[in-house]
Chains A and B, each alone.
Chain A
Amino acid sequence: MKHIIQQVFHSGKFVFGFSIFATILLIVIFYPLFVPDPPLTILGQGTFFPPGIYVSVYDSLSATSYTLNLDEAAAKRIASKLSQEDRQAVKEWLIAAGIPEAEIDPANTEQLLDQWFANYDSKKNVPGMTNAKRNYYIRLNNALKGLLSPDAATVSQTNPQTGEMEQIDTINQTDYVNVSEVANLRLLPLGTDNFGRDILTELIAATRVSLQIGFVAGIIATLIGLTLGLLAGYVGGVVDDAIMFVTNLFTVIPTFVLLILISFSIGQEQRGAFTIAVVIGLTSWVWTARAVRSQVISLRNRDHVNLSKLSGHSIVHIILSDILPYIASYVIMALILQISSGILAEAGLSILGLGPRTTEVPTLGLMINWAMIYQAHILGNWWAYMPVLVTIALITFSMNLMNTGMDQVFNPALRD
């Protein structure tokens, strides 16, 4: 046994798959210890905040301000304000003003602004320019001038006694606060979803629930498949015929359709994560049963089984000690595939809106479902669905890798 485990860990594929899976598992276990927030707390008012560090503006005002004179500060400020369309418009104007195109670089903010202020003239008549466009250029010019002005911003507050606005503070362009002195900030590495929930926390909780669903479904499917396969294969005769009849019935009905129908008939209220796992498990045992049966049939006539019979062992003893150990590695491989297909089945169901009910736990499928309903994929809010897809892909990829790695060790035909 020890030797077999050693051999499995000699397989590069298995080790690679196992390390991906172990990393996912470790993150799922340890992340909640460091970030104990409930995964479905709504943080943001609004949908799909992009990933980043969120700093409280109010607290920044009351934090100690430091003066830093940084050369690039103004340029960076303008650069971040000047949108791509504005830059393109500036370029168009400059070309109309007679600057050769080669000398204009829309990415170089400083040079672009210099050229703009040197050449812009609101009175100049560019042929073919509409009035609206002319007004746009005037507004753009004013905005750029405003950005360049060195004036401080004023912070005012209504005096509760007089009801008048009173200036309480001014903020210079050279004022800085130290982030560590700001009382409130929040890191949202993957932004928020449509409900304003932290996607990272949600994703990790969802991964855990999905893995649990996969494990429960995989174990149920493997247990049913193993039991039926062993019985059908070893006992044979009428038992075999009966079991194969049922198995063939299940093979003919597309499993996913069956899954949808069962999920739907259970109803939204009754569908918990565990129920869904059981339903997936109950519908996906078919091929394990068939595979185990054919393995057992080939083992049944082997001489060591005959010898065990001649030694007077009972059927139960023969199945448990002469058949089961021989197919154990195969069954473990089947279990791994069942787990990964269980995770995929849950995702498939949830995308269709037939997953576990939505108020208690997130699952990977549900997260995609939510992102889809709120059109994250159309709005370009990649952070709402991409990390989920990557996680699903990584889990199934790692499990399939482990499976093929084990196959190489256990299946002599694939050995090199």
Chain B
Amino acid sequence: MANTMLEVKELSTKYITRFREDVYAVDRVSLAVKEGRSLGIAGESGCGKSTLALSLMGYYFPPLHYTSGEIIINGKNISGMKPDDVRKSILGREIAYIPQAAMNALNPTRKIIHFIEDVIMEHEVYATKKDIYERAKKLFETLGLPAEVLQKYPVELSGGMKQRTVIAISVLLLPKVLIADEPSSALDVTSQKMVIKMLRHLMEAGMISSMIFITHELPLLYNVVDDIMVMYAGQIVETGASREMVFDPIHPYSKGLMGSIIVPEQGLRDVKLTAIPGVPPNLKKPPAGCRFAERCRFVRPECLVTNVSLRQAGDGRAYRCILPEAELREAYAREEHKK
């Protein structure tokens, strides 16, 4: 049985706005990523997927605040640690994070090699510049990046190249877990494919043990990760293996989400895209019952008041609905038949 690289238990975090209002962005999220596995987090904008990524590092700065729960990275519980200790001993070594606009975070006045020197010297005081250069060159070659990039300034690189460089820098210290938050959504499709290829390569070569990949683009997620977790309004609504999640979702929200996938493939024009009416709830005042209740077509009176918990559906599958799996599937089949 493979080791669990990252385990999160009942993690809750919130934002405090400048009007002193609480926004409950991540609500009692539990997840576990095993060695050699990758987990994808999907959901609409504002569902808390980016906040979850930030929270996973245990490195909180206002307006984000920790509320409760535990984060265990490679056996180390980091939820009680001081931010400075987290930065020194966890970030980069155990867990690395690539934010949404990572490629714009490079200081334009410095060469790529300088960023690499910074990262390594922060952790290995006695490293020489020559050694660092050799190491960086080797790493870049393994990842299919030309070594000349090291001597260039960020502005001399294209967007896709910059993004791949940032990823290379963030895996310098061979972290166990890599969290990538929309690493390719600002890129054109070709660069996006290169980034994806690189991430897959990192996993296959064992340079990182596990990966968490966050995106709203479902076809992309399907092609990158082993497991998919769908979030809605700060909670997990369904989780399971990629293929089952995309082609055989259980939760009505996942069903709708997967039904809205557009790919340029034969048969798409005959598909009727699913629409979910309404908007997600305001996370300043989350609803008492099921958070999806007011947009759900199977809603029942008790949905509005009962706090629904995740139900196991075998094989690592879990979904958050009061209806049993069989009943939901039956309803989907009826709808299919009506068409």
A and B, direct touch (CB closer than 8 Å): yes
Taking Cβ atoms with an 8 Å cutoff, the residues of A that contact B are 415-416
Distance in angstroms between the alpha carbons of A415 and B62 in the assembled complex: 12
A290 vs B232: C-alpha distance when bound (angstroms) = 46
Judged by a CB distance under 8 angstroms, whether B18 is at the interface is yes
Q: Specify the chain B residue showing the minimal Cβ separation from A416.
A: B18
Tell me the smallest distance from the CB of B65 to a CB of chain A, in Å. Answer: 14
CA separation between A415 and B63, bound complex, in Å?
Answer: 11
Closest to B63 in A: A416
Q: In the complex, what distance in Å separates the CA atom of A416 from the CA atom of B18?
A: 7
- Give every chain B residue within 8 A of A416 (Cβ-Cβ): 18, 62
Q: 3 interchain pairs (CB within 8 A)?
A: A415-B18, A416-B18, A416-B62
Return A235 CB to nearest CB of chain B, in Å: 33
Taken residue by residue from 6 to 47, chain B's Cβ proximity to chain A (1 for < 8 Å, 0 otherwise) reads as: 000000000000100000000000000000000000000000
Per-position 1/0 for B43-63, Cβ under 8 A of A: 000000000000000000010
Which residues of the other chain, B, contact A415 by a CB distance below 8 angstroms? Answer: 18
In the A-B complex, the 3 residue pairs with the smallest Cβ-Cβ separation, listed nearest first, are A416-B18, A415-B18, A416-B62
- For the complex, give the distance between the alpha carbons of A416 and B15 in Å: 12
In this complex, what residue of B is CB-closest to A415?
B18
Main secondary structure of the interface of B (DSSP, over half): loop
**Per-residue contact bits, chain B 84-111, to A (CB 8 Å; 1 contact, 0 not):** 0000000000000000000000000000
How many whole Å from B99's CB to the nearest CB in chain A?
Answer: 17
B62 — which chain A residues lie within 8 A by C-beta? 416
Q: How far is the CB of A7 from chain B (nearest CB, A)?
A: 10
Q: Closest CB of chain A to B326's CB: distance in Å?
A: 48
| Cα-based distance from A416 to B62 in the complex (angstroms) | 9
Cα of A303 to Cα of B127 in the assembled complex, Å: 52
The answer for the CA separation of A415 and B18 in the assembled complex, in Å, is 8
Instruction: Give the size category of B's interface with A.
Output: under 10
- Tell me, rounded to whole Å, the shortest Cβ–Cβ distance linking B62 to chain A: 8
Shortest distance in angstroms between A80's beta carbon and chain B's nearest beta carbon? 59
The minimal Cβ–Cβ distance linking A243 to chain B, given in whole angstroms, is 32
Q: Which residues of A contact B18 (CB under 8 A)?
A: 415-416
A111 to B173, CA, bound (A): 81
Which B residues, 62 to 83, have Cβ-Cβ distances below 8 Å to chain A?
Answer: 62
Complex Cα spacing A416 to B16, Å:
11
Q: How far is the CB of A231 from chain B (nearest CB, A)?
A: 34
Report the minimum CB–CB distance from B140 to chain A (whole Å).
34
Interface residues of B in 285-310 (CB under 8 A from A): none
Report Cα–Cα, A107/B18, bound state, in Å.
Answer: 58
How many angstroms from the CA of A364 to the CA of B18 in the assembled complex? Answer: 41
Q: Measured between C-beta atoms, what is the minimum distance from A8 to chain B in Å?
A: 14
A114 CB to closest chain B CB (Å) equals 68
Question: What distance in Å separates the Cβ of A265 from its nearest Cβ neighbour in chain B?
Answer: 47
- Shortest distance between the CB of B288 and any CB in chain A (Å): 30
A69 to B56, CA, bound (A): 84
Smallest CB–CB gap between B77 and chain A, Å? 31
Task: Give chain B nearest CB distance to A416 CB in angstroms.
Answer: 6
Tell me the minimal C-beta distance from A361 to chain B in angstroms.
46
Distance, CA A327 to CA B175, complexed state (A): 47
Q: How far is the CA of A216 from the CA of B50 in the complex (A)?
A: 51
A416 to B17, CA, bound (A): 9
The docked-state distance in angstroms from the alpha carbon of A415 to that of B17 is 11
A415 to B90, CA, bound (A): 30
Give min CB distance, A259 to chain B, whole Å. Answer: 38
Q: CA–CA, A165 to B122, complex, Å?
A: 98
Q: How far is the CB of B15 from chain A (nearest CB, A)?
A: 13
Min CB gap A15→B, angstroms: 16
**B309 to A: closest C-beta gap in Å:** 37
Report Cα–Cα, A361/B62, bound state, in Å.
54
Closest to B62 in A: A416
Cα A10 to Cα B148 in complex, Å, equals: 52
* Docked pose: A416 CA to B19 CA in angstroms: 11
CA distance A330 to B208 in the complex (A): 49
- How far is B62's CA from A66's CA once the two chains are assembled, in angstroms? 72
Please, how many angstroms separate the alpha-carbon atoms of A125 and B18 in the complex?
82
Please measure, in the bound complex, the distance between the C-alpha atom of A327 and the C-alpha atom of B148, giving whole angstroms: 45
Q: How far is the CB of B219 from chain A (nearest CB, A)?
A: 28
Nearest chain A CB to B106 CB, angstrom units: 19
In angstroms, Cα B18 to Cα A378, docked, is 52
User: Shortest CB–CB separation between residue B81 and chain A, in angstroms?
Assistant: 25
The CA of A109 and the CA of B326, in the complex, are separated in Å by 105
Interchain nearest-CB distance for B35 vs A (Å) = 40
How many Å from the CB of B163 to the closest CB on chain A? 24
* Residues from 247 to 280 in B contacting A, C-beta threshold 8 Å: none
Distance A251 CA – B288 CA, assembled complex (angstroms): 62
Min CB distance B122 to A, Å, is 28
Kindly provide the distance from the CB of A306 to the nearest chain B CB, expressed in whole angstroms: 23
| Identity of the chain A residue whose Cβ is nearest the Cβ of B19 in the assembled complex | A10
The distance in angstroms between the C-alpha atoms of A4 and B18, with both chains bound, is 15
A415 to B19, CA, bound (A): 12
Chain A nearest CB from B16 CB (Å) reads: 11
- Measured CB to CB, the closest approach of chain A to B121, in angstroms, equals 31
Shortest distance in angstroms between A14's beta carbon and chain B's nearest beta carbon?
15
